[in-house]
């Protein structure tokens, strides 16, 4: 199944590359982390961007942006590198990606750094910050094809040759940059990033996002930040993405990933958000959700956190404490002693209630509770605790019971002359 999904994603991206129009400004960028070890054991990480575009003559043009750094790669280093290339030179960036004219695709490796919530959150802000129209279609784990691998093969030969000639290993970012620049590749641009600069930037640009349960970010392979409507393309809000497990799906089948914190965007109704494919505010107290099956309100369901009169005027910490207590009460309610009919199917419950002349409408939990109340089994006697120890024989009893009973004397079978049967067999 994984191999089939990988083939579908590769073919989808390849079809988009084949469909790039000459001079249209459409682009595809592969990204992947490469790594080398010098002769003295120093490790260098390289986030490489393979920029694919068609020139005015219709020929595919490949350009490689190498970003060397000595720190370990993470989502912070990935976010910093993209922001560095989107910023212009006067703003402290490189300006390599600041003039992307048309819509584009970000693809390549699908590791945790490229599908994490902070990185997806920052990618959803590219249109509002830089005016870039981008959508992500990452490859599956253990993918077998990526043009970034060829960039590593070319530079590996250069690094090995230079270190052998110098008789020592590289230890600084400038050493790797100098060696790569001597290779003489015309479509390669090199950048080095210092560790302290990346750490300072990541501290200043921390992303505060909402915790989302039930959505598997690492398993999703496709993220979009706009929707095609009758009025045209509508871009999402910063912090909102549309995710899917495969790339070739309609916008109506995607999941709305609203990562904005509650103190910024307010409480939201997840059921209405997924139904309308746009963030929707939470309902008021005692107001039923039209998209929630059964009409259960969000506060009662525990899945949709709604703004109620009890939380009006509370700050963020007080709201978190309020909803934690609400969830604890719901968990305690589930842990109560169940009745005699707690595991009886609904059809059997209906049959028993009809025989008793009781109403049969309602959910299965209500029918079981009605049977327990009618038969007086709403508080059954607790079972006796099981004895500790292994099952079977004396080891199945408790330790106190084994100590109280004296051990049985071992008897040996003897023959008529008083010799054991084992001795008789040897004679």
At 315, phi and psi to the nearest 5?
-85, 180
pLDDT of 254 reads 87
Using DSSP bridges, classify how beta strands 222-224 and 240-244 pair: parallel, antiparallel or unpaired.
antiparallel
pLDDT digits (tens, 9 = 90+) for 45-95: 999 999 998 888 888 889 999 999 998 888 899 999 999 999 988 888 998
HSE-CB at 218 with a 13 A cutoff on CA atoms is 5
Mean pLDDT confidence for 225-248: 85
Give the residue, 127 or 183, on which the prediction is more confident: 127
Q: CA-CA-CA-CA torsion for 162, 168, 171, 177, nearest 10 degrees?
A: -10
* CA–CA dist 232, 248 (Å, integer): 20
Residue 141 or residue 272, greater confidence: 272
- Mean pLDDT to the nearest integer, 20-28: 83
b/e map of 181-200 (b: 16 or more CB within 10 Å)? eeeeeeebbbbbbeeeebee
Per-residue model confidence (pLDDT) at position 77: 93
- Numbered ranges of CATH 3.30.420.10 in the chain: 2-224
396-407: pLDDT as tens digits: 555 555 555 555
DSSP per-residue codes, 40-66: TS-EEEEEEEEEEEE-TTS-EEEEEEE
CA 51, CA 49: separation in Å to the nearest integer?
6
- Is residue 343 within 8 Å of 380, Cβ to Cβ? no
Which CATH fold topology does 2-224 show?
Answer: Nucleotidyltransferase; domain 5 (3.30.420)
């Amino acid at each position: 199944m994984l191999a089939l999904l990988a083939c579908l994603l590769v073919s989808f991206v390849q079809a988009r590359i084949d469909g790039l129009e000459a001079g249209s400004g459409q682009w595809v960028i592969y990204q992947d982390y490469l790594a080398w070890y010098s002769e003295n054991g120093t490790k260098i990480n390289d986030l490489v961007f393979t920029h694919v575009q068609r020139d005015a003559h219709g020929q595919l043009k490949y350009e490689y942006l190498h970003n060397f750094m000595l720190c370990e790669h993470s989502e912070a280093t990935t976010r910093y590198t993209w922001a560095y290339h989107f910023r212009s030179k006067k703003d402290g960036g490189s300006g390599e990606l600041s003039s992307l004219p048309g819509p584009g695709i970000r693809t390549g490796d699908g590791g945790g750094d490229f599908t994490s919530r902070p990185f997806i959150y920052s990618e959803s802000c590219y249109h509002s910050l830089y005016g870039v129209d981008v959508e992500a279609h990452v490859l599956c784990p253990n993918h077998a094809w990526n043009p970034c691998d060829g960039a590593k093969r070319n530079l590996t030969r250069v690094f090995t040759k230079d270190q052998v000639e110098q008789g020592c290993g590289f230890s600084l970012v400038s050493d790797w940059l100098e060696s790569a620049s001597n290779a003489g590749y015309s479509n390669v641009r090199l950048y080095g990033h210092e560790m302290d600069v990346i750490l300072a930037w990541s501290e200043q640009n921390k992303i505060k996002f909402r915790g989302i349960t039930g959505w598997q970010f690492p398993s999703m392979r496709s993220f979009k930040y706009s929707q095609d409507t009758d009025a045209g393309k509508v871009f999402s809000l910063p912090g909102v993405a549309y995710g899917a497990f495969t790339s070739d799906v309609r916008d109506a089948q995607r999941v709305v990933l609203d990562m904005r914190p509650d103190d910024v965007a307010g409480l939201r109704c997840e059921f209405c958000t997924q139904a309308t494919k746009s963030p929707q505010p939470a309902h008021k107290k005692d107001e039923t959700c039209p998209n929630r099956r059964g009409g259960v309100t969000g506060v009662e369901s525990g899945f949709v956190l709604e703004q109620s009169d009890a939380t009006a005027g509370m700050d963020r910490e007080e709201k978190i404490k309020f909803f934690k207590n609400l969830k604890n009460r719901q968990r305690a309610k589930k842990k109560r002693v169940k009745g005699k009919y707690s595991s009886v199917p609904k059809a059997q419950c209906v049959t028993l209630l009809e025989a008793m002349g009781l109403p049969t409408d309602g959910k299965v939990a209500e029918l079981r509770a009605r049977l327990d109340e009618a038969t007086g089994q709403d508080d059954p006697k607790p079972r006796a605790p099981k004895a500790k120890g292994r099952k079977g024989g004396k080891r199945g009893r408790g330790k106190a019971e084994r100590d109280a009973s004296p051990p049985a004397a071992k008897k040996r079978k003897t023959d008529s002359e008083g010799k054991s049967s084992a001795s008789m067999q040897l004679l």
